[in-house]
Chain A
Amino acid sequence: MTTTLVRLAFAGIRSRLLATTLTILLAGAAAATIVLVLEVRATGSDPWQRTFDAAHGAHVLANVPTREAAEALRGLDGVTESADPVPEATLDLRTGGGREPLRVAGLSGPPAVNHPIATAGSADPRDGVVLERSLARVLGLDVGDRLVLDGPGGRSTLVVVGTAIVPNQGRYPRSNPGFAWVGLGTLDRLQPDQGTWRWDEALRVDDPATAGAVADSVVRGAPPGTVSAETWREQRDLALQEAAPLQLVLSMYTGVLLVVVFVVVGILVGARVLEQNREIGLLKAVGLTPRQVTSVFVIESAGLGVVATGLGYVVGSATAPLVAGAMAETMVDGPVSAADPVHLLVAGGPVLMVLVASTWAAARRRTRMSVLNALSSGQPMPPRRSTLVGLVRLLPLGISLDVGVRAFLARRGRLLLLTAAISLTGAAGVFALSMQTALDDRPAGEPSDVPVELPALVYALDAVLLLIALTSLVAVALLSVRERLRELGVLKAVGLTPRQVAASLVSPFGVLAGVAGVVSVPLGLVLYAAVYAVSGGEGRPAVAPWSWLLLVPVVTVALVVIATSVPARVATRSPAAAALRME
């Protein structure tokens, strides 16, 4: 029997190619975004580990006030390896716009532990300076350029001999002040008062899991604020902090996208079952039980869900390294795809659940009908008494809009879901506009702690969301045309012109888009404010100007009208006689 049910489930799939393809693409988009978020996290930590290994990183990096204190740490329990203490001082870096504080380490040779890894030129400063890579990029300095450092001992013009990275340094300017290496003599010349130096002691321990305990013992007993110790886990978190805004935005968009996609998939699946009303009747007529009929539909949906999840996994895994590249500036090499099979399961869970649950709910309702009722039309009817319908009756709407809005009100669940989907898409647009305004408001020349990739990522996600929303609208509009074919035939027979028929299909979508567009403005502002607050923004965030925000509903209506015009034109072409089934 199971084989029979499976065969029945996929028997007519070719005749539903468009709906099937759309369902796979939309569910695939949902799976891809889930995989993307998971993979970005995984691929982000991968290059840091490579950096740590290449630098022979410190499990514990202590910062103490004297060389003697630093050397004493080598005797701590569990310490297996250490480097000579490295002194550092904070100097002033002269830039075109003024002065920037800069942490400068003085090297007498490459440290045995936690040594800088050259990304250009040399990691050995000799008489010049080696800049941390992200700092060099923000300052626009390359190997061979000169920079000026000011210290209590005087001013020094140094040649940039290289750029380098270390696993404990976050991306500038999020991690501020920036970091550089000079020769020990240069440091001594710029800051001759060695009493103000701080000393870094890089320690490796036999068991990295005990790094926290070793760090505690470094700090224990010292006067508060004089000694600090950073474990390898803290170094990793600091390095990965660069990805935090990206991950936050990505998570927000993932949430929005999942809601939009699941809403539309729910509509498509529900409508597909409704459309198959006659098939349900036929299956029951040949002897299938309601449970078996429901199983036929659920099997088909689950099959589509499996294909969609596989597709989403491939796309998400391939895209993740591109998105995660933002955080790789302070690390060795770019991220590579993690392609963790567990992510496939995590993404497949919600996708399959939505598909199966919406199919089960829709099919179960239809299979409860009598065979005769199922064989007849299964079109939903408007509610008997409705305040909204009463209101529509009072409004002086044109005939096309009146007819269209009433047809819309007959499917209120779908109406609400569609409004939510369009509102969320519009809200994502408001989010992007506000983010752009905040970036534009930044004083000229001031380095931003917003990752440069963030705007591009937001616009790319907006474009994906918009594409999905518009595709979904076309799908739902086509569905409306199919469901209302007979009604449209009646309207044509009564005397509605093709233009009026098209307007009766498009205009309610336009009204819905208008409402959703208006709702999307406050919704988008709330989302933006929430993300701003969570990402550590201070004060009141700059939001898009009102003139831009007022355009959101207008653009929403325009896009929705354009998207639904194509299916509406299809409706006007179908002959009235065929629609009425007068033959």
Chain B
Amino acid sequence: MTALLEARGLSRTYGEGEAAVAALHDVDLTIERGEFVAVMGPSGCGKSTLLNLLAGLDRPSAGEVWLDGARVDRLSETALARLRRRRLGFVFQFFNLLPTMTAAENVELPLLLAGRRRRAARRTARRVLADLGIADKADAAPRELSGGQQQRVALARALANQPDLVLGDEPTGSLDSAAAGEVLGLLRAAHARGQTLLLATHDARVAAAADRVVTMRDGEVTRERTLAPSRPVTLPFDPDPA
């Protein structure tokens, strides 16, 4: 069976000559469909760089990235954008909601980009927000939401198109303990539904919820550890009831 995502000999160097810094060096990583993988390591170890390269947000200096059996690191920017909108979802540490749009409109955006009609996209966005427990905040601007609420909206945006893979860069990193717990619960629920997750994190609770933990140091993968299957959870929403 083909892996969902595969990195082969992935490297990324910033700068040139004596100022060159190898942020990532010869990393091999395979993510199977339905897997929940946590990437851990100290700050500056290359976690974010790895996620950027796997998501096509940055170009590797060397190595290959394969998604569902197709090499993607050589795709054009346009092809990568189309790939991201249909097959990948992102959750960032600082939420990165578009400040000029309401919560619902932020969730609608990937749906519209994927070709949904405006009315259908609006309906789906509101349902996903309701499933994540923030239906009453659908018309709120991001600045009117708490950190936890903003991250729920970001999660809804990432999940709205039912992507093959959701990548998260410290998704609980800027939340208080209670909000982090809530967001983690939602991530676990998505995973239980079959969603593949790849999260870079410092949070031990996030790592504990994963199927596998990849540890990095100085731009290299130093350890991989498979954990016991996660406790089954009930999915709080059905992203595509039709």
Contact = CB atoms under 8 A, between A and B. Distances in A.
Contacts of A354: none
Contacts of B97: 490
Contacts of A399: 109, 112-113
Nearest to A407: B100
Nearest to A498: B77
Contacts of B81: 492, 495-498, 500
Contacts of A407: 100
A113 to B, nearest CB: 77
A492 B98 CA distance: 12
A254 B100 CA distance: 38
Contact of B57 (A409, A493, A496): A493
A17 interface: no
B82 interface: yes
Contacts of B36: none
A495 B110 contact: yes
A293 B64 CA distance: 50
B58 A494 contact: no
Contacts of A396: 118
Contact of A382 (B49, B82, B100): B100
Contact of A494 (B48, B51, B85, B143): B85
Contacts of A381: 99, 141, 143
A494 B78 contact: no
A582 B114 CA distance: 25
Interface in B99-147: 99-101, 105, 109-110, 112-114, 118, 141, 143-144
B130 to A, nearest CB: 20
B86 interface: yes
B82 A495 contact: yes
A446 interface: no
How large, as a class, is the contact surface on chain B? 35 or more
A388 B239 CA distance: 32
A495 B86 contact: yes
Interface string A461-494: 0000000000000000000000000110111111
A577 interface: yes
A167 to B, nearest CB: 67
A359 B52 CA distance: 39
A543 interface: no
Contacts of A384: 141, 144
A498 B78 contact: yes
B113 A406 contact: no
Nearest to A493: B90
Interface string A392-417: 01001001000100110110000000
B197 to A, nearest CB: 17
Given A496-B113, A582-B51, A490 B96 contact: yes
Given A494-B109, A495-B81, A582 B169 contact: yes
Nearest to A406: B100
Contacts of B52: 576-577, 582-583
Interface centre among B109, B114, B144 (most CB of A within 10 A): B109
A309 B102 CA distance: 46
Interface string A336-368: 000000000000000000000000000000000
Interface in B27-55: 48-49, 51-52, 55
Among B23, B58, B110, B114, residue most surrounded by chain A Cβ atoms (within 10 Å): B58
Contacts of B100: 382, 389, 403, 406-407, 409-410
A389 B141 CA distance: 12
B157 interface: yes
A580 B48 CA distance: 11
Nearest to A382: B100
Interface string A495-507: 1111110000000
A379 interface: yes
A372 to B, nearest CB: 15
26 contacts: A381-B141, A382-B99, A396-B118, A403-B101, A406-B100, A409-B100, A487-B99, A490-B97, A493-B55, A493-B90, A493-B96, A494-B110, A494-B113, A494-B157, A495-B85, A495-B110, A495-B114, A497-B77, A497-B81, A497-B82, A498-B81, A499-B78, A575-B58, A576-B58, A578-B58, A583-B49
Given A382-B99, A494-B113, A583-B49, 9 more contacts: A384-B144, A399-B109, A494-B84, A497-B81, A580-B57, A580-B92, A580-B96, A583-B48, A583-B52
Q: Which 3 A-B pairs have the closest CB atoms?
A: A495-B85, A406-B100, A577-B58
